A and B are shown apart, each in its own frame.
Chain A
């Protein structure tokens, strides 16, 4: 797969990363070579191999259903660029 400028624009928009337009050519080139490497891996026959979601052979750690967190509104709101006593305040988003 080759990555072009439009694709760079699309994925940077999805990821909310702003990219200088004079950099998108070199980025497209870098990403294309990365994809070429991945395509090489695709040549391997993996029909009988389960997809690997984790390399650790330990079970997922779980917890009991207990309430032992929360009630820290001030801390949670502390770093918000805009807030009032109770809420995060963000620019109007409405459909």
Chain B
């Protein structure tokens, strides 16, 4: 038998995407993540998503509602589509999200790469979410 160690990937792009989404949603001024078509199809089933994927996207990229995470050579890249609260300055919110996401990623042992943010909506906070 071979005694070479088996390489396993513990930190997956799905986990990083989940971490980035949670970190973003916990940032003051972020109302929600904006869903994407691919994220929606991913929820319907892998077969539906398979049709839209290109072969390159399968190695280390995970998409869910409003978040895309890619791990490559130990570096995690993130793209977030967010809606922000009109009571906050969107650019500042985005910068805070970037900072927090990078910090969260660094705790996993991966190197934080680019964190790109798209602000897709700026709205007043819904009344039901007022604390």
A binds B: no
Contact residues of A with B, CB < 8 Å?
Answer: none
